[in-house]
Amino acid sequence: MRQKPTVLARAIVATSRLFRVEELQLRFTNGVERTYERLVGTGSGYGAVMVVALIDDQHALLVEEYCAGTDDYQLSLPKGLIEPGEDVLVAANRELKEEAGYGAHQLEYLTELSLSPGYMTQKIQVVLARDLYPKRLPGDEPEPMRVERVNLRELSALVRHAQFSEGRALAALYLARDLLVQRGVLVL
Amino acid sequence: MRQKPTVLARAIVATSRLFRVEELQLRFTNGVERTYERLVGTGSGYGAVMVVALIDDQHALLVEEYCAGTDDYQLSLPKGLIEPGEDVLVAANRELKEEAGYGAHQLEYLTELSLSPGYMTQKIQVVLARDLYPKRLPGDEPEPMRVERVNLRELSALVRHAQFSEGRALAALYLARDLLVQRGVLVL
């Protein structure tokens, strides 16, 4: 990998309850200097988890939630912040119970995805959940989430659904699908 | 779709050169009231574009760039802001020329992806570029980007690459792959 630019100065230039913006003065190895900004978390710092939960060998669960960013109800994967000291798989199972009303007997770590690495520090851990059973835990959601199913063989159609748009959730679904195909569980 | 929560109050609570945070007081239809925060753009408001550029029927171009968010050099798709009044496909071709040193004779709009719809307004347009030719345009990058190729048949291995992590770029690559398979151009 290339030698990283030198950080000449850094400062927090904006803060809110959830967000913090850091300004960086950088000098690249070719001598060019630039001012960058990046979003750094104000959360627990333990990261976040996203769950591809298989209700059968072909279908994953989606939850419908009001999204303030896009100001509409969107379908996405169950997800949330990992609590201090909480294991990633335990966090995944907890979020699945809180948001979708299911627990999983089998939990498997898939990968880590970044949000927008140029501008944001945020990363999310992707977990595959199988062998589900009904189990609801109370969460911090303002209202119950409606649960839907998506057929893993129809992911390219999912982006045409007016209520689905989240890139990293789609990536997680595709990764899970690839894995199931490689293992011979799913045939496309 | 459900009835959206009522916005009781809204205010900009933090601003920087690139970011702006809006606080929303919401009342859900069940009467529950909550304070939300979301990131709203300070850019041109014309959005952004991300390009899956095929150098042949199996390989797409990746560019390596210093990412301040993750503080490392990451591989991702060529992408950037759409300029005021600029057509999405024209913007895609311009970014491809600036970042990867190629133009495309064929450009095709694929879809729109959101970043984190719960907390951010940002969306990005995904464009498939084919029939490439060498063409470099000067961009605003601080240093030239290294260009790599990824085999579309090996996307699930890409997330194990230490320099690749971006969820929405992976989603865009999978969507392009699905389309090529459906058209019989690519066999997995």
pLDDT in tens, B116-174: 999 999 999 999 999 999 999 998 889 999 999 999 999 999 999 999 999 999 999 99
State the pLDDT at residue A133: 98
Q: Which of B4, B16, B72 sits opposite A37 (nearest CB)?
A: B16
End-to-end CA distance of chain A: 37
Q: Return all residues near A90 (Cβ < 8 A) that are at least 6 apart.
A: none
Instruction: Band the pLDDT of A44: cuts 50, 70, 90.
Output: low
Supply the CATH number for residue A67's domain: 3.90.79.10
Is B175 found in the same domain as B123?
A: yes
Quote the tokens at residue A16: 């809110």
Q: B-chain residues within 8 Å CB-CB of A70?
A: 114, 117, 121, 123
Q: Is residue B125 part of a domain?
A: yes
CA-based nearest residue to B152, from B126, B123, B185: B185
pLDDT in tens, B107-121: 999 999 999 999 999
Q: What residue numbers bound the domain in which B28 lies?
A: 6-41
Record the pTM.
0.96
Q: What percent of chain A has pLDDT over 90?
A: 92
Q: Which of B119, B123, B156 sits opposite A68 (nearest CB)?
A: B119
State the pLDDT at residue A139: 86
Domain count, chain A: 2
Q: Is the pLDDT of residue B41 over 80?
A: no
pLDDT in tens, B72-91: 999 999 999 999 999 999 99
Instruction: Please answer yes or no on whether B72 and A39 come within 8 Å at the CB atom.
Output: no
Instruction: Please answer yes or no on whether A171 and B168 come within 8 Å at the CB atom.
Output: yes
Instruction: Band the pLDDT of A43: cuts 50, 70, 90.
Output: low
Instruction: Band the pLDDT of A140: cuts 50, 70, 90.
Output: confident
* C-alpha distance from A158 to closest chain B C-alpha (Å): 10
Is A162 found in the same domain as A79?
A: yes
Question: Three-state SS for A165?
Answer: coil
Is B77 found in the same domain as B98?
A: yes
Q: Is residue A187 part of a domain?
A: no
Q: Is the pLDDT of residue B23 over 70?
A: yes
Q: A-chain residues within 8 Å CB-CB of B146?
A: 2
State the pLDDT at residue B93: 98
Q: Which of A14, A118, A168 sits opposite B167 (nearest CB)?
A: A168
Among chain A residues, the shortest Cα distance to B37 is held by A18
Is A140 found in the same domain as A74?
A: yes
ipTM value for the complex: 0.96
Q: What percent of chain B has pLDDT over 70?
A: 97
List, in sequence order, the alpha helices (H) in A101-154.
none
The mean pLDDT of B39-66, rounded to a whole number, is 90
Is B87 found in the same domain as B131?
A: yes
- Are the beta carbons of A152 and A186 closer than 8 angstroms? yes
State the pLDDT at residue A41: 75
Instruction: Band the pLDDT of B44: cuts 50, 70, 90.
Output: low
The overall average pLDDT reported for chain B is: 95
- Are the beta carbons of A47 and A125 closer than 8 angstroms? yes
Is B139 found in the same domain as B120?
A: yes
The mean pLDDT of A92-101, rounded to a whole number, is 98
DSSP lists the bridge partners of residue B20 as B15, B40
Q: Is residue B108 part of a domain?
A: yes
State the pLDDT at residue B139: 86
CB atoms within 10 A of CB B11: 9
The overall average pLDDT reported for chain A is: 95
Q: A-chain residues within 8 Å CB-CB of B142?
A: 5, 26, 28, 30, 32, 34
Among chain A residues, the shortest Cα distance to B119 is held by A69
State the pLDDT at residue B181: 96
CA distance B97 to B149: 16
Q: What percent of chain B has pLDDT over 90?
A: 93
State the pLDDT at residue B53: 98
Q: Is residue A108 part of a domain?
A: yes
Mutation site for A-interface testing, chosen from B115, B148, B155 by largest number of A Cβ within 10 Å: B115
Q: A-chain residues within 8 Å CB-CB of B34?
A: 142
State the pLDDT at residue B43: 64
CA distance B175 to A167: 10
Q: Which of A30, A121, A178 sits opposite B156 (nearest CB)?
A: A178
The mean pLDDT of A130-136, rounded to a whole number, is 98
Instruction: Please answer yes or no on whether A69 and B159 come within 8 Å at the CB atom.
Output: no
CA distance A138 to A180: 31
